[in-house]
Amino acid sequence: VQLQASGGGLVLAGDSLRLSCVASGRTFSNYALGWFRQAPGKEREFVAAIKKSGNYKYYTDPVRGRFTISRDNARNTVYLQMNSLEPEDTAVYYCAATSSEAKLGFGLSYEYDYWGQGTQVTVSS
């Protein structure tokens, strides 16, 4: 699976952004999808994940209630709607795909088989 993330940018605190990640190469609906982020000088961290069916979603606590993950299997696309952005959300955001859903809620990066190239999100105060 090839993943192409887009939608990042420079915004002010309180603004919104929607990230998109388009997949190609394999059957999209066979994969659970996740978003991770990495801030300068920090480790990559889990943000959100969605099961193959789209019926179950998982979030890290700092973004719960502000971010929403969704998927459109017809468009081979996963989205991350980010509202009420904070400077602490500044990072490179990566989408990722995994064929295994067993541990999806744990946000384990090593469970993911495929990664996109990342898109920069910068939130200014």
Q: What pLDDT score does 34 carry?
A: 97
Q: Find the angle CA(19)-CA(23)-CA(27) to the nearest 5 degrees.
A: 140
- Whether the CA torsion 123, 69, 81, 79 is positive or negative: it is positive
Q: Which tens digits make up the pLDDT trace of 21-61?
A: 999 988 899 999 999 999 999 999 999 999 999 999 999 99
CB 75 within 8 A of CB 66: no
Kind of pairing between the strands at 119-124 and 9-12? parallel
Kind of pairing between the strands at 119-124 and 57-59? unpaired
Q: What pLDDT score does 26 carry?
A: 82
Q: What pLDDT score does 113 carry?
A: 94
Q: Which tens digits make up the pLDDT trace of 54-111?
A: 999 999 999 999 999 999 999 999 999 999 999 999 999 999 999 999 899 899 999 9
Neighbours of 77 (CB within 10 A): 17
